[in-house]
Amino acid sequence: MGYTSNLTNPPESIALPYILRQRLTTNLIKTLKSLKWSKGGSNRISNLTLACRPWNEAKGNQDIKDFLRGKPNLAIRILSEAKAPLKDAAAVNATRWKLFETLKAKGLPITTGSGARTKYNRCRLDLPKEHWIDAACIGEVEKLTMLTNQPLMVTAMGHGCRQMVQMDKYGFPRKDTVRGFIVLRSTQRFYSLHSSWRV
């Protein structure tokens, strides 16, 4: 359970009133998109709301805010469960499918699978939720041997700086010695250590 969504036959573990469950099984209640396709909506679960057929037909292509203008409390409750549209994710998915078609046309061996299949494989193999583990669970996976629990050894070392010396508010150096240079504060001149040591 939890791998795919099926709103027409909800599992018994979901607490729904008896009348609502009966109407769902007899298709008297349909799923309503909070944001329609023509307005940039999608088929994902957070964009779907349970509604009766007359209410769904009356709403039509209207925005949910416009349709529920007379019932602001209901509109707020419905929209609080909906998430923002994933337009960037849609662009990434379009690029992903174009890459898949290009690699397939080249004749390379490619394995694909749905997100539900990936989650099923990960849960069946009792693996933690990590992006790099999900990449190994795509498609048909019978067995998976993990060689490490941490794929990379990354440590933050800071950004560094190319500034030779810290300046005061007038633009003169604040420190006395700077990586091979000596600052004489009386004259504010730089002398190279190497040139001053020559005999």
pLDDT for residue 68: 80
- Asked, for residue 141, whether it belongs to a domain, the answer is no
Q: Quick check: 25 and 9 in contact, CB under 8 A? A: yes
Vertex 127 angle, CA 134 and 154, to 5°: 65
- Asked, for residue 71, whether it belongs to a domain, the answer is yes
Quote the number of domains for the chain: 3
Q: Which two tokens stand for residue 20?
A: 């609502």
pLDDT for residue 199: 41
Q: Which two tokens stand for residue 87?
A: 């337009």
* Domain limit, last residue, from 45, 64, 81: 81
Assess whether 32 and 68 both reside in one domain: yes
List Cα–Cα distances, 163 to 32, 100, 158, 190, 192, in angstroms: 60, 47, 15, 15, 17
Residues near 26 by beta carbon (within 8 Å), at least 6 away in sequence: none
pLDDT for residue 140: 87
* Domain limit, last residue, from 63, 81, 99: 81
Give per-residue pLDDT as tens, 124-177.
Answer: 999 988 888 888 888 888 888 888 777 777 777 777 777 777 788 888 877 665
Taking the C-alpha atoms of residue 165 and residue 185, their distance in angstroms, rounded to an integer, is: 14
Query: Is the pTM higher than 0.85?
Result: no
Range of the domain at 127: 87-136
pLDDT for residue 3: 47
- Whose CA is closest to 118, among 135, 142, 104? 135
Q: Is the pLDDT of residue 20 over 60?
A: no
Q: What percent of the chain lies above the pLDDT cut of 90? A: 7
Q: Report, as an integer, the average pLDDT of 18-34.
A: 48
Taking the C-alpha atoms of residue 166 and residue 101, their distance in angstroms, rounded to an integer, is: 55
Choose between 26 and 110: higher pLDDT: 110
